Chains A and B, each alone.
Chain A
């Protein structure tokens, strides 16, 4: 038998790496993200992100807008969970203005915020499934996100960019239809979430694709400013809802799920568990809301005539109400001087609002702490030496939202 092995001379074949351009518009990036990657075969040698493709200068715009005109801007940060951004913004304004919200308002807000968190995590986790090759889950859970959007619609009239709530409360009381829809969601969603989990959580292909992909240690995650589920997946139990409770989160009983390795699989598990916890919170909040009887059950906003629009029938019949309506819509109310930092637990991390008011009608400076802008920096470190297909999975499991990233 002859020897078929081919022996090559030294340097006969050049070892070469390939540079590829992933994005800005690529079906696998789920948003406007560009990555320039240096590949050795299918292995990522190094990468660099380019951000800013949908930068809209929100911080500059906010310097010319009165408070209510900034709410629609916050919608467009993390648009998978707009209500959390809206509430966070209203909480910031309330902190500056010294507004105390009634308990019922807090509980209603908690319901909406937790619904938004579920909608956010649901998208992220089912997209992780899509990128691992399982499209079914994504299509299937969309109808349950639809149930959430119907509740938004019933409360504020819109679905994606919600502009929900007002300073001091909500624009109108929750209708009975809204509560019926909430009950329907509470009944149907756990079944669907259980099914999504049974599709993916112990699925061997899914596990082998996600375990060990894009891991980060707790130290590195903290140093990189990770927050939210991504930090918790690395094993740090930091949650704004517990550490700096807002909107009466201290009245609720829930757990903070944590992971261990900070890899794609842990991030997936943490988000799934958080959805179960959110269901618990919503159920508790709904029970608390139902405990209000008589006139207490009619309370849906605080008494802040300078910032809360008067009733429409008063606007049409009373001079004073008409004046306030005009002043609020045109933003002709001076704010107190001050500097506030208020943060909320957004869908993907700590969403902070740093507002400086010089006593004028618009903020002197408004800065958004956007969680994914801060943790996206770690991406090259997360995907170094991994396969290109795992790099894509890592990107979707980080829950990056382009609107928030670029502000």
Chain B
């Protein structure tokens, strides 16, 4: 029996009440939110509940919304139930000042590097991660480059004398 987005929403609401919210259907994919303290509980429930069994972590990344106070960073999980072939997107938000989110590495081995990448670029501190260090950038880097506070270089700037790159 194929499961539908409505069914998933109903099961989640039964279990977590109004702790799960902002249900949305974006281009056919169910999308919802939970408080960051509950991220592991929600993931575990989605994993264990036999009628849901979202046991494949497709993707994990973060998004920076500098304008929304106390919700600056979002960690986004894309989960896939390979048997029923249905996907969902699950988000938790965290303030940028205390970017602590529980790690999903106990549940998914694949989360290891994806969380390291997320830490590397956004500074999300995954609590309990076995090896949380930078992965793509150099270890000496002291900022988190994908945050919106670091814009790309303005291509019209003229103060830089750099003949190699045609600006001299």
Contacts and interface: CB of A to CB of B under 8 A. Distances in A.
Interface stretch (A58-66, A70-78, A109-117, A136-144): A58-66
Nearest to B61: A367
A365 B108 CA distance: 24
Interface size on A, as a range, is 35 or more
Majority secondary structure of chain A interface residues (helix, strand, loop or mixed): mixed
A225 interface: yes
B126 interface: no
Interface string A312-332: 000000000000000000000
A404 interface: no
Nearest to A352: B59
A343 to B, nearest CB: 8
B10 interface: no
Given A52-B137, A225-B56, A225-B58, A374 B113 contact: yes
B59 A367 contact: yes
Contact of A354 (B61, B64, B117): B61
B85 interface: yes
B3 interface: no
Interface in A350-390: 350, 352, 354, 356, 364-365, 367, 369, 373-378
A355 to B, nearest CB: 11
* Chain B contact residues, majority secondary structure: mixed
A238 B81 CA distance: 11
A95 interface: yes
Contact of B137 (A55, A59, A367): A55
A225 B108 contact: yes
A379 to B, nearest CB: 11
B31 A59 contact: no
B69 interface: no
A309 B99 CA distance: 44
- Name the residue in A220, A373, A374 with the highest tally of chain B Cβ atoms < 10 Å from its Cβ: A374
Nearest to A53: B136
Interface stretch (A28-36, A195-203, A334-342): A334-342
Interface string B113-133: 110010001000000000000
Given A52-B137, A59-B121, A406-B136, A339 B26 contact: yes
Contact of B26 (A52, A340, A373): A340
A352 B112 contact: no
Contacts of A52: 135-138
Contacts of A59: 121, 146
A148 B135 CA distance: 35
Interface in B48-71: 55-59, 61, 63-64
A66 to B, nearest CB: 14
B145 interface: yes
A223 interface: yes
Contacts of A243: 82, 85
Interface string B20-34: 000000110101000
B123 to A, nearest CB: 14
A279 interface: no
Contacts of B112: 377
Contact of B56 (A64, A222, A373, A375): A222
A326 B107 CA distance: 50
A356 B63 contact: yes
A118 interface: no
Contacts of A64: 152
Nearest to A377: B113
Contacts of A63: 152
Given A354-B61, A354-B78, A356-B63, A223 B108 contact: yes
Contacts of A343: 58
A369 B137 contact: no
Contact of A222 (B59, B64, B82): B82
Contacts of B137: 52, 55
10 contacts: A52-B135, A55-B137, A224-B109, A225-B57, A339-B26, A339-B89, A340-B26, A352-B58, A354-B76, A377-B109
Top 3 nearest A-B pairs (CB, nearest first) are A225-B110, A52-B136, A367-B61
